[in-house]
Structure 1
Amino acid sequence: MRHTLPLTPQFYVTAPQPCPYLEGRLERKLFTALQGENAKDLNDSLSAQGFRRSQNVLYRPSCADCASCLSARIDVSAFRPSRSQRRVMNRNENVERRATSPWATEDQYDLFRRYLDSRHADGGMADMDVFEFAAMIEETPIRSRVMEYTDKTTRELLGVCLTDVLGDGVSMVYSFYTPDRPRDGLGNYVILDHIEIARDAGLPYVYLGYWVPGSQKMGYKAKFSGLEVYIGGKWQKMQDPEQFEPEQHPLSNDPIAEQVANIALPDMARARR
């Protein structure tokens, strides 16, 4: 009789690079490959521990002297729209959502380029070509969907979100939208719509990526009620965003070996049965 041993994910650390959120800081990521028949279980488990997916990689910030990046999610049952968020929903009443398979199109890429050129011209994705864009959308080993948002009247593509379906929620992997309607709050609208998607599916959370106190470009996430952040190995309810300060200290993070030892992995043998 031949026995097959479960494969344990191997974790690695990236070289330090300039931080895209806090000026003058360096970022470093802890990451592992997402592949094989147990990809879904690994993604579910690590997403609940602050990891994010990029194509076939799961990663989490692991900076040497900074712990400011906090994984954020919305507790759907605790969310109550603010007055300004209700206005956003009203302004976008003529927007229609369509869920598709993770397949990149020319229209999506054209919108993506316009979005980057307007909002993130000097960001890490600024030089992404059409083939890299297609890889971002299509290279997914788990259940993913592309949410397209169009104008019901003109059929213009207004926004796109690559969305993963997790065991306990939906994860907004990456979203972009037209820069031509700044008053409509399309970025916030896509989040509000994902709250409805999760609610309709009976899923408790919407995973938003990282919130960074002190980073203006991340400030919008703290405006959603029901927000939780992952701190010290557990999810905590966001009370007052002003109480959070960018945590930058040589002892902010545990050593890499200790971080890896504290990661809870799914039972790969049970997942195969």
Structure 2
Amino acid sequence: MSNRELINLEQLKFYSTREHPCSYLPQELATTLFLDPEQKVEQPLYSALSDFGFRRSGNNIYRPHCASCQQCISIRIPCQSFCPSRQQRRIHKRNADLQCQEVSSIDNDECYALFEKYINLRHADGDMYPTSRPDYVNFLCTPNNYSRYFTFRLKEQLIAVALADQLEQGLSAVYSFFDPDHDKRSLGTYMILWQLEECSRLGLHALYLGYWIKNCQKMRYKSAFRPLELYINQQWLQLN
């Protein structure tokens, strides 16, 4: 039985925001649908909601719910059929000297300093700028029983961090950040490649990448991973 068959969305309570400016398409107004924050979310429910196109940010489970725009599409990469491009293979080889370690928490000074540097230098135009330690904790360090944290080090230096949620059918790539001084390593792409390998090692179906907007430059990197599965009209369709 699939995750989607385990739940009935009508039995859950959701709340919708008022229309607000879209963070990705400035000409559009966005509305977001949130799961009731009082709802207890364990891995089976979270896994099922992910198959309905939902995503997690901090303690919130949400998905776009815009009346006039349907451009935000939930996407995932099927691990077993993923075929890396020549450039992706080069990126993987370029980072073969990194040491990855799974850690129990990233609520520490070292990880926060890296996050702050990443936001200040790469996303000063985004919602997280200017950042603060409480914002960081609320966004990435909320307690649950399915989050996994991975650190990537060059010798002893921390240069990247990835947060992935363990679903029953895959991993959800929640967020990653890295040292902008190592841009030539393409660390954002490498962490996706590493998480795909982890999915395959665990025998899971897919790595969930959140939302993709065809006309959004910031999200264009996601379409470089093929094949992709897109959630359209209440079903997952493969894009080769």
- When normalised by structure 2's length, the TM-score is 0.91
Match of 2:104 in 1: 101
Match of 2:185 in 1: 184
Distance in 2 (CA, whole Å) between partners of 1:18 and 1:183 is: 33
Distance in 2 (CA, whole Å) between partners of 1:124 and 1:211 is: 18
Distance in 1 (CA, whole Å) between partners of 2:127 and 2:19 is: 14
Task: Provide structure 2 residue ranges, at least 5 long, that are not aligned to the other structure.
Answer: 1-10
Match of 1:237 in 2: 238
Indicate conservation of the 8 Å contact 2:91/2:186, yes or no. yes
Aligned residues with identical type, % of pairs: 38
Matched, 1:69 2:88: no
| Mapping 1:21-32, distance limit 5 Å | 21-32=24-35
Match of 2:7 in 1: none
Match of 2:114 in 1: 111
Distance in 2 (CA, whole Å) between partners of 1:182 and 1:110 is: 17
Matched, 1:171 2:172: yes
Distance in 1 (CA, whole Å) between partners of 2:213 and 2:178 is: 22
Give the CA deviation at 1:158.
1.0
Find 1:124's aligned residue among 123, 127, 132: 127
Distance in 2 (CA, whole Å) between partners of 1:33 and 1:40 is: 16
Give the CA deviation at 1:39.
2.3
Match of 1:212 in 2: 213
Indicate conservation of the 8 Å contact 2:120/2:130, yes or no. no
- Deviations along 1:88-136, one digit per CA (max 9) or x if unpaired, are 0111011111111244111111111111112110101113310121122
Task: Find the residue that maps to 1:173 and give its secondary structure.
Answer: strand
| Mapping 1:70-89, distance limit 5 Å | 70-89=73-92
Distance in 1 (CA, whole Å) between partners of 2:36 and 2:101 is: 30
Taking a change above 3 Å as real, the CA distance of residues 36 and 82 of structure 1, as seen in their structure-2 partners, is same
Matched, 1:46 2:49: yes
Give the CA deviation at 1:31.
0.8
Match of 1:150 in 2: 153
Task: Provide structure 1 residue ranges, at least 5 long, that are not aligned to the other structure.
Answer: 1-7, 240-273
Identify which range, 23-32 or 206-215, moves more after superposition.
Answer: 23-32
Residue identity in the other structure for 1:228: E
Indicate conservation of the 8 Å contact 1:34/1:141, yes or no. no
Indicate conservation of the 8 Å contact 1:52/1:209, yes or no. yes
Taking a change above 3 Å as real, the CA distance of residues 162 and 33 of structure 1, as seen in their structure-2 partners, is farther
Q: Any runs of at least 4 consecutive aligned residues in structure 1 with deviations exceeding 6 A, and if so which? A: none
Indicate conservation of the 8 Å contact 2:15/2:36, yes or no. no
Which of the two has higher C-alpha Rg? 1
Higher relative contact order (CA 8 A, sep 6+): 1
Give the CA deviation at 1:191.
0.1
Distance in 1 (CA, whole Å) between partners of 2:29 and 2:40 is: 35
Distance in 1 (CA, whole Å) between partners of 2:41 and 2:148 is: 19
Task: Find the residue that maps to 1:21 and give its secondary structure.
Answer: coil
Task: Find the residue that maps to 2:152 and give its secondary structure.
Answer: strand
Task: Find the residue that maps to 1:142 and give its secondary structure.
Answer: coil
Distance in 2 (CA, whole Å) between partners of 1:41 and 1:200 is: 21
Match of 2:161 in 1: 160
Task: Find the residue that maps to 1:77 and give its secondary structure.
Answer: coil
Task: Count residues in correspondence.
Answer: 231
